[in-house]
Amino acid sequence: MNTEAAWFQGLSADDESAAQARIRDGEADEPADWPHRAVEAGYAADAQAYYDALHSITTAAAKATVQERERADDQQLKHAVRAMDDCERTANELAERVAEWAGTRLPDAGSGVEYARELLDDEPADSAEAALVSLAQRVVDLADEAADLRGNIETTAPAVAPNLSALAGPVLAARLISLAGGLESLAKKPSGTVQVLGAEDALFAHLQGSAPSPKHGIIYTHEYVSGTAPAERGSAARALAGKLTIAARIDHYSGDRRTELDAELDDRIETIRSRGDT
């Protein structure tokens, strides 16, 4: 191997961008005395300077790789669905506080986000009521933000994972991607794991011997599971998880739309549900 195979060959010591690219994309067929070669090539003054540069460049290259991964579409989808869930949860919690507070002042106090929205039409009678209306405004703002995020997810998810979104719906697809840590991670999971994503607490309780094995996790929200008779929900969850796993793998590795998956799942669920009717 000659010095042309070295990551520092032909680079100046201050060209960090090119050095990072060499670190990420380069390779060597066999070990070599790289510090000595770096000195010979004029890249570093001595071995210690070489190791200092290597540490700095590899750290920067790793940071850039992490940043690039976090900016990937599936990771952005993960952040969007988590933000939507946070907004919805906080809005509902604050809406309960608004309802409780309003109950001490108004004779026809209601509850929920919609009641908080109604309060915005009232003219505050005093400073306490003004504070109540201000809190109601925060509830409405959070609920509206959640709705905007949901709209973004419904637009983005089909582009990121077309087959998964078609089978699960965009929001559930985003939640599965989020729970798995990314589309690639989801694609590598067995269907049995996909089936119980979101049911980690129940699964841990089962492993400790204090609860039965969970039949489903977040996929319970899919109509094909929740809308199936209780006795057949386990079968429906397995069928759905199996197709979702295949869909995630196709989305990650090829990205082409396979409409036959939809028909196959529909037929399988129809068969499962028909068993409950007999």
What b/e readout covers 224-242, taking b as 16+ CB neighbours within 10 angstroms? bbeebeeebbbbbbbbbbb
pLDDT at 1: 37
CB 249 within 8 A of CB 257: no
What b/e readout covers 252-273, taking b as 16+ CB neighbours within 10 angstroms? beeeebbeebeebbeebbeebb
Q: What would the two tokens of residue 226 be?
A: 């929740």
pLDDT at 163: 97
CB 271 within 8 A of CB 226: no
Fold match, 73-160 / 161-272 = no
Alpha helices in the chain (DSSP H): 16-25, 34-40, 47-70, 73-103, 112-119, 127-160, 162-168, 170-180, 183-187, 191-195, 200-207, 223-226, 233-253, 260-277
d(CA 221, CA 232): 15
Q: Is 29 exposed, middle or buried (0-12, 13-18, 19+ CB in 10 A)?
A: exposed
pLDDT at 2: 42
d(CA 187, CA 184): 5
Query: Which DSSP category does 213 fall into?
Result: P
pLDDT at 3: 43
pLDDT at 69: 61
pLDDT at 249: 97
pLDDT at 108: 85
pLDDT at 51: 87
pLDDT tens string, the chain, 278 residues long: the values are 344 556 777 777 777 778 777 777 777 777 788 888 888 888 888 889 888 888 888 877 777 766 656 556 899 999 999 999 999 999 999 999 999 999 998 888 899 999 999 999 988 889 999 999 999 999 999 999 999 999 999 999 999 999 999 999 999 999 999 999 999 999 999 999 999 998 877 767 767 776 777 788 899 999 999 999 999 999 999 999 999 999 999 999 998 999 999 999 999 999 999 986 65
Q: Answer whether 0.75 is exceeded by the pTM.
A: no
* 204: CB partners within 8 A, 6+ apart: none
Q: Where are the domains of the chain?
A: 11-70, 73-160, 161-272
pLDDT at 67: 61
pLDDT at 176: 97
* 118: CB partners within 8 A, 6+ apart: 110
Instruction: Return the half-sphere exposure (C-beta side, CA atoms, 13 A cut-off) of residue 224.
Output: 25
The conformational region for residue 274 under phi > 0 = left, psi -120 to 50 = alpha, else beta, is alpha
Give the class (CATH, top level) of 73-160: mainly alpha
d(CA 269, CA 278): 15
- CATH architecture, range 161-272: Orthogonal Bundle (1.10)
Q: Determine the length of the chain.
A: 278
d(CA 160, CA 166): 11
